[in-house]
Structures are given as C-alpha cells and as structure tokens.
Amino acid sequence: MTDPRAEEGRPRDVVQVRAIGPVLQISLDRPHKRNAVDPAMTLGLEAAFARLEADPDLRVCVLAGTGDYFCAGSDLVLGAGPHTADGGQYGMIRRSRTKPLVAAVDGPALGGGFEMVLAADLVVASRNAWFALPEGARGRLPGAGGLLRAPARLPRNVAVEMMLTGARLDAARAYNLGLVNRLVEPGAVLRTAFELALDAIASAPGSVAQILRGLERIEEPGEQRGWGVTAQALDVLRCSSDHTEGTAAFVERRPPRWVLGAAQRAAIVDAATRPATGA
C-alpha cells in the first residue's frame, strides 16, 4: 500500500519553492525529464502559485528550471494531469494574478514550457535559451495558450512559422522582437531575474495589483475567444488518427508518417528550381 505521506511529498519533489524576502522562487525540478510537466508538477505549481497570491509578504514570483532545460512541455507519456480550478493547465497558465511573474529562462523552453513563458509578465533569458512550439509535429497544437498568445507577443508571421514548422526562436531574436525583457549570458539569468523582480515591485502593491488586473480585463475578450477556439481545435485533434500517430512516433522515436524524407524534400526543391521545359 502506498504511504499517503509519500504521495503528499511528490509535488514538492518536482517543484522546489522558496521565499527570499518578498520574492517567491519556484523551480521546475525534473531535470532528468527536461522538466516536462507531469501530474505531480501541475499540483506543485498550483500550490506554489496559490501561496504567492495568499501571502501578503510575497509580492513577486520568479519561475525557473533546473538543469539544462527550462521546460520541455507536457510529459507525453504520463500527461500533465488535469487542469486545476484556479490555474488551468499546469496549475498556472490561466491563473489570475495580482503579483508579477518573471520567467527566468536559462535553457530551451518548448511546447508547454514556452507557453509558461508566454503566461509570464516579464522574461529574462540567456543566450543558451531558445523557444519552440513543436506540437504540430506530434498531431497536436499549442493548447496551453500558444495558439492565442504567441501571435499576440510576437509578429504574427513569426508565431505562425513556429507553430507550422516547429522552428526554433533563439533568445537573441526573441529579445529583438520584444518577447524577452533582458538578454544575459548563461549563468546570469537568476540574478538578473531577481533584480528585475525587485524592480517590478518598486511601485506600491496596490498599484501593481491594479495594473495587472487592468491588463487582464483589457485582454480578456480576445483571450476568451482564443481559449474557445483552442478548445474546439483540440477536441477535433484528440479524436484524429494524426494524434494517435504523433504519440506513437514520439514513443517509438521515429518520424511521423506525414514527414517527408530528406531525399523527397531535395527532389521537390530541385524540381522547383529546374528551368521549365514546356507544358
């Protein structure tokens, strides 16, 4: 029989939380799985963000990852667990906050990991970081906010390329496009994120809360429509053969059946660039 105390401890094992003055640091701590979100991590994030909102001594949050990755998104084998009542996906994607969230990204953030970054108010990234939305390659789509937030935070054509091709967006370009607030050298992310977090609470707590609430209300109509469209698209995909094939390909570590091989791609490009010989 499973020890209930062990069950209670699991979220804390994969989500490390510590308060340093007015800053709550939340660290994704599943480095052997590239910090992919499993049900325990979702529960840990839900509890951590609830603590942030409930404790008047905590005024700002820094979200980081341990190891080489910030977060690789949902665990495609275990799943990320159910949406929580207050936070939605991952216990934090759709949470209403009155305290700023700074994402400290010192490695790749892809899929749901990038969608965590899109849920943040401020972003600090190192030159080691890159962002991607590869869900389409697995018969899925960015369902944790990427479909609506990526085109809102980035130029639409950049967001569309990321979603359709799985293309990587490196941190330097993300900084130039305005997604990243601070671009730093590897290893300097956490210090810079704490400095930015403390800068973000230079204003009065009530002012900060109303600024965040105001932005939320301004963005709400577009977000609500975006979430509705996302839900409809996800329902279609979940019942599709593409979803089944994408998952199987991931588990079996092979390309999905719809991916063209290198020789096929080269032949098509060569044919397109060859001079026409007549109709």
| Catalytic (active site) residue 115 | yes
Residue 23: count of CB within 10 angstroms of its CB: 20
Q: Which of 115, 185, 195, 245 is catalytic?
A: 115
Nearest to 113 by CA among 28, 50, 191, 227: 28
Q: Which position among 135, 216, 219, 223 bears the catalytic label?
A: 135
Classify residue 185 by burial, with Cβ atoms within 10 Å: 0-12, 13-18, 19+. Answer: exposed
φ, ψ for residue 71, nearest 5 deg: -170, 135
Q: Does the active-site annotation cover 135? A: yes
Burial track 3-19 (b if 16+ CB lie within 10 A, e otherwise):
eeeeeeeebeebbebee
Q: Would you give the end-to-end CA distance of the chain in angstroms? A: 74
Question: What three-state secondary structure class fits 253?
Answer: coil
Alpha carbons within 13 angstroms on the beta-carbon side of residue 92 total: 36
Find the DSSP H helices in the chain.
4-14, 39-54, 112-119, 146-153, 156-165, 171-176, 189-200, 205-238, 241-252, 262-273
> Known catalytic residues?
115, 135
